[in-house]
Amino acid sequence: MVVIMSLIIIFIYIAMWYYVGRNIKKIFQHRKINLKIYWAVFWIMAFAYIISRLVSSILTVNNIVSVIFSFVGAITLSLFIYLLLGFLISDLFRVVFKIIKLNEKYKQKIRSIYGNGLIVLIITAIIVCSGFVVALNPKTTEYKININKAIGNKQSLNIVLVSDVHIGIGVRERGIDKMVDSINKLQPEVVFFAGDVFDESSTTALKEYYSQACKKINSKYGVYAITGNHEYFQNFDESIEYYKKANITVLQDEVVKVNNQFYVVGRKDTASESRTNEKIKSLDILLRNIDRNLPIIVLNHKPEDLKSAENEKVDLQLSGHTHNGQIFPGNIIIKKVFEDPYGYLKKNDFNLVVTSGYGTWGPPIRIGTQGEIVNIKMYGNK
């Protein structure tokens, strides 16, 4: 059954790419092009991202072939998504015009504008370029949250949340430096990385750069991190090593009391179960022996298990993973998957903040969404 499903997915993938490739070829039908070279280059680009994953699994992600194909594949995926949508919409209009028997005069005007699909190519290029610029410029999002507990002798706690950095294709050395500078400008008392800092495209050199850069983070109560799903896909142990090298406390189904003022609970991502063959600990077990009078902050990469968090009197859960869909129409679809895929949710005394993430995965673009660093002012009832 798995083999059959895999073959069906491969067939659909190839069919969609062929549909896009055939429509691009039509744009240049009046120009003399070598079709063998055209299709050879086209199919290399179509499978570039898959090739990069195969190369990195056989060799390492540090291999130059993997790095090149990852970048080329990510760019072509960006173009493919909107070329596919553009050509499908164009063909849909063509069918509608036939059904309603549109006047030939108007058809000619539309054909001249369409230009055998050139307008789709131009619009796609504009969309992808603008999405690339947006992805390079994350914003700072601020929340003010009130909890029904005292935070020691403090009136409030200044929290910075960063998730889904995805160091590699979209975020490299300059992006890492920009992230650290942005964090420090917010003068955080505690900093949380909520998973997927690293992914399949994160080279060892970039992990090393991250670990050195993060040593410059100024935080009164330290920096804490959990792993997301992507850290489990490649070089998990190496990723943990570089978190620790950055002086970041990694929590894997663990609880720490910070300065006798609040608890930080770091949950393992469910992706760990396939790697370790061990079930992640339930929230009630993790919180069994803590002082419930102190604020409880839970780090859970995915915005899930919300009912348990509410039942266990968690004050604040911080999550990422969703990217808020990253690219349109993903930001619409994601709302059907998670109860709260982005932003702030309050249920009685339970508060949830889901970030769209700092970086991107796959296509290094954002359309209809924006990356962010989150600054939360959490006020106690004192």
Q: What is the pLDDT of residues 288-331, one digit of tens each?
A: 999 999 999 999 999 999 999 999 999 999 999 999 999 999 99
- 225 pLDDT above the threshold of 90: yes
Confidence tier at 115 by pLDDT (50, 70, 90)? low
Average the pLDDT over 111-117 and give the result: 74
- 29 pLDDT above the threshold of 80: no
Helices 48-58 & 35-46 angle (0-180, nearest 10): 60
Q: Which DSSP symbol is given to 301? A: S
Average the pLDDT over 115-137 and give the result: 92
Instruction: Give yes or no for a contact between 184 and 218, defined as CB atoms under 8 angstroms apart.
Output: yes
pLDDT for position 104: 75
Structure token digits, residue 2: 């798995």
Give the residue among 47, 79, 81, 49 at the shortest CA–CA distance from 67. Answer: 49
Give the residue among 268, 327, 322, 255 at the shortest CA–CA distance from 295. Answer: 255
Average the pLDDT over 270-294 and give the result: 90
Confidence tier at 33 by pLDDT (50, 70, 90)? confident
Confidence tier at 116 by pLDDT (50, 70, 90)? confident
pLDDT for position 28: 85
Confidence tier at 251 by pLDDT (50, 70, 90)? very high
Average the pLDDT over 207-220 and give the result: 97
∠ CA 144-147-152, rounded to 5°: 105
Give the C-alpha separation, 248 to 222, whole Å. Answer: 7
Which residue is associated with the tokens 């600054």? 375
Give percent of the chain with pLDDT exceeding 70. Answer: 99
Q: What is the pLDDT of residues 321-362, one digit of tens each?
A: 999 999 999 999 999 999 999 999 999 999 999 999 999 998
Q: Which DSSP symbol is given to 337? A: T
Structure token digits, residue 131: 């999405």
Q: What is the pLDDT of residues 15-28, one digit of tens each?
A: 999 999 999 999 88
Exposed / middle / buried, residue 38 (Cβ in 10 Å: 0-12, 13-18, 19+): middle
Residue that wins the pLDDT comparison between 147 and 1? 147
Average the pLDDT over 250-278 and give the result: 92
Instruction: Give yes or no for a contact between 356 and 324, defined as CB atoms under 8 angstroms apart.
Output: yes
Mean pLDDT of the chain: 93
Q: What residues have CB less than 8 Å from 313, skipping those under 6 apart?
A: 292, 296, 349, 350
Average the pLDDT over 127-131 and give the result: 96
pTM of the model: 0.92
Q: What is the pLDDT of residues 79-105, one digit of tens each?
A: 999 999 999 999 998 888 888 877 777
Give the residue among 221, 38, 50, 20 at the shortest CA–CA distance from 117. Answer: 20
pLDDT for position 317: 98
pLDDT for position 250: 97
* 266: β partners: 254, 299
